[in-house]
Structure 1
Amino acid sequence: MHTLPLTLVVMTYNEAKNIARCLDSVPFAAEKVVIDSGSTDDTVAIAQAHGARVVRQDWLGFGPQRNFATTQAGNDWILALDADEYLTPALAGEIAAKLPALMAGDTCAVWLRRATIYMGAPMRFYLPSMGEKMARLYHRDRARWADVRVHESLRFDGPAVTFQARFNHENNPSLPEKQIKVLRYAELKCRDWLEKDKPVRMWQTPFVFALAFLKDYLFRLAFLDGWRGYAIAQTAASYAVYKRMRYYEMRRNPASIESGAAALHRHGIDR
């Protein structure tokens, strides 16, 4: 496959088990850049062995870290993947075939479809896991990541296209890893809420759990994936409740902000 003037950018922290697969899935990228926030495993060595240039950068938050990564690219067109994501051969072929024409125009970004592998197998019916559209391929002068600590999205105001083939997401190989991510994401989201002085509204919490569970389990068809679908819906609903309880605690007892951050740091969950 011929190379394109495209930079693959991947953010990492202790991703030794995933990074090679991610990098190797993009054979057409003229440049591969890994932004590492202090890995203590073999992530850096493996990334370099698989053709990536590694840039070390302390963790800034998801949005700021992605925007920093954009500045490190040597090409205007950027493909942003997480280390636990990788292109399918079909999507690699579609990008290689269609991107040259887009590069000659004024396209801002490309929507890619992401499929999820959960508990060791692809989800078959749960809608967000069957082809969730995500803007991950973009021109760096026409798009920018939102400067938020978590749940970042690509912002652009101009033409975009959608590719049909999918890329895969190896979503949290185990439930303990998922729970660690829940703690991390909730803490980051609560910090954003603090800065915005968002009202607490704890009275909504019981309804939030029920509505979040029903949204995923029924309306997004998680129930058709059996007990794996139940686990996804329950975890999502629990996350929606936990982050509200944690935010209430931060506002009720400000000392818990630093003590909680210190506890997460001791267990390596603060990146």
Structure 2
Amino acid sequence: MQTLPITLVVMTYNEAKSIARCLDSVPFAAEKLVIDSGSTDDTVAIAQAHGARVVHQDWLGFGPQRNFATTQASHPWLLALDADEYLTPALATELQQKLPALMAGDVCAAYLRRATIYMGAPMRWYLPSMGEKMARLYHRDRARWTDARVHESLRFDGPSVTLDARFNHENNPSLPEKQLKVLRYAELKCRDWLEKDKPVRMWQTPFVFPLAFIKDYVFRLGFLDGWRGYAIAQTAASYAVYKRMRYYEMRRNPASRESAANALHRHGLDR
């Protein structure tokens, strides 16, 4: 493929098993940039072998880390992927065809559609996994990531476009890995809540699980994907409850913050 003046940006920490696939799925990017937060496996060597420039940056949180990555790119247009994501050939072709005109205009960002591979196979019905729109292609002078530690989003005030083909997300190869991510994300979210002094509202918690489960399993059609849909709905509902309980603990017992931080650090979950 012809290369285009765009930077692919990937944030990594111990992503040796997936980084090559991610990088190789974007053959048209003139620059491939990996922002690594201290990998102890072969992530850095593999990324370099697959054409990436690797920059080390201690973990800042998802939003700040993405904004740091933006400052390191050589091109004003960036494509942001996670290491466990990769373009399909159809989307790679669509991007190569449409990027020149898109970059020549006044568009701030482009939405890409993400499909999810879960428990070894694509989800077929669960709506968030069947083409979730995500702003991942953007001009760095026209868009900026929020500073949230987790669940960051790209903010811009101007025109955008949506592409047709999809990219893939291999969502947590195993349930243990998903549960570790839940612990990490909940801790980061609770620390954002602490900074904003969000009220605890524990009275809501008994209602959160059934409402969150019904939303994903019924209204988002998780039940049509069988037991995999049940697992997704159950995990999402459990996360919604756990982060509220953890926030209550942080407020009631401030000493738990340092204790949890030390435990997460020992297991490499603090980045």
Partner of 1:130: 130
Cα drift, residue 89 of structure 1: 0.2
3-state DSSP of counterpart to 2:268: coil
Partner of 1:203: 203
**Could you tell me which amino acid in structure 1 is paired with residue 97 of structure 2?**
A
1:257-268 equivalence runs, <5 A = 257-268=257-268
What are the superposed Cα offsets for residues 206-237 of structure 1, whole Å, 9 maximum, x if unpaired? 11111100000000000000000000000000
Partner of 1:115: 115
Cα drift, residue 49 of structure 1: 0.2
Matched, 1:52 2:52: yes
**Could you tell me which amino acid in structure 2 is paired with residue 238 of structure 1?**
S
Cα drift, residue 268 of structure 1: 1.2
1:161-180 equivalence runs, <5 A = 161-180=161-180
3-state DSSP of counterpart to 1:261: helix
Counterpart Cα distance in 2 of 1:121 and 1:104: 38
Question: Structure 2: any 5+ residue segments left out of the alignment?
Answer: none
Partner of 1:80: 80
3-state DSSP of counterpart to 2:130: helix
1:52-71 equivalence runs, <5 A = 52-71=52-71
Partner of 2:218: 218
What are the superposed Cα offsets for residues 73-103 of structure 1, whole Å, 9 maximum, x if unpaired? 0001000000000000000000000010011
**Could you tell me which amino acid in structure 1 is paired with residue 244 of structure 2?**
R
Counterpart Cα distance in 1 of 2:211 and 2:160: 32
Cα drift, residue 266 of structure 1: 1.0
Counterpart Cα distance in 1 of 2:103 and 2:199: 44
Counterpart Cα distance in 2 of 1:95 and 1:159: 18
3-state DSSP of counterpart to 2:193: helix
3-state DSSP of counterpart to 1:30: strand
What are the superposed Cα offsets for residues 34-62 of structure 1, whole Å, 9 maximum, x if unpaired? 00000000000000000000000000000
What are the superposed Cα offsets for residues 149-192 of structure 1, whole Å, 9 maximum, x if unpaired? 00000000000000010000000000000000000000000000
3-state DSSP of counterpart to 1:131: strand
Partner of 2:255: 255
Divergent runs of 4+, >6 A: none
Cα drift, residue 249 of structure 1: 0.1
Cα drift, residue 269 of structure 1: 1.1
Partner of 1:188: 188
Partner of 1:149: 149
Counterpart Cα distance in 2 of 1:111 and 1:38: 30
3-state DSSP of counterpart to 2:7: strand
* Matched positions, count: 271
Counterpart Cα distance in 1 of 2:103 and 2:258: 47
3-state DSSP of counterpart to 2:208: helix
For normalisation by structure 2, the TM-score amounts to 1.00
For normalisation by structure 1, the TM-score amounts to 1.00
Question: Structure 1: any 5+ residue segments left out of the alignment?
Answer: none
3-state DSSP of counterpart to 1:169: strand
